Structure 1
């Protein structure tokens, strides 16, 4: 698993598996899951992360 934060875009990305993304679903406000061809979750994107993730965590990325 890899975690990245883009402070300019304010997006926190959590990569679970290194596979090709076939689909993406919004599961909550500004929260998206990336799916592989089997429909398994391989990544999570949190947009406007400063609103929903503790800012102290984001400073590590």
Structure 2
């Protein structure tokens, strides 16, 4: 998994897989889900990230 934040465009992208994106769907306003050909979720794009989360440049991760 990779997480990238572009300060200029204010977009946070979470890449869950290296599979190519075949289809994208805006699940909710400003939340775009990317899917592979097989329908697997491969990425999540958050538009206007600084308005949706307190610190888009600081990511905490917890694995259980």
TM-score under structure 1 length normalisation: 0.89
The number of aligned residues is: 59
Tell me the equivalent position of 2:58: 60
Q: CA deviation at 1:54?
A: 1.7
Q: CA deviation at 1:11?
A: 0.2
Q: Name the one with the larger helix percent.
A: 1
- Partners in 2 of 1:4 and 1:59 — Cα distance? 9
Q: CA deviation at 1:50?
A: 0.6
Gaps of 5+ in 1: none
Gaps of 5+ in 2: 60-64
Deviations 1:17-57 (A, max 9, x none): 011000000001100000000111100000000111122xx
Please show how residues 12-23 of structure 1 align to structure 2 within 5 Å: 12-23=12-23
SS at match of 1:50: helix
Runs of 4+ with >4 A deviation: none
TM-score under structure 2 length normalisation: 0.85
Tell me the equivalent position of 1:45: 45
Asked if residue 35 in structure 1 is aligned to residue 42 in structure 2, the reply is: no
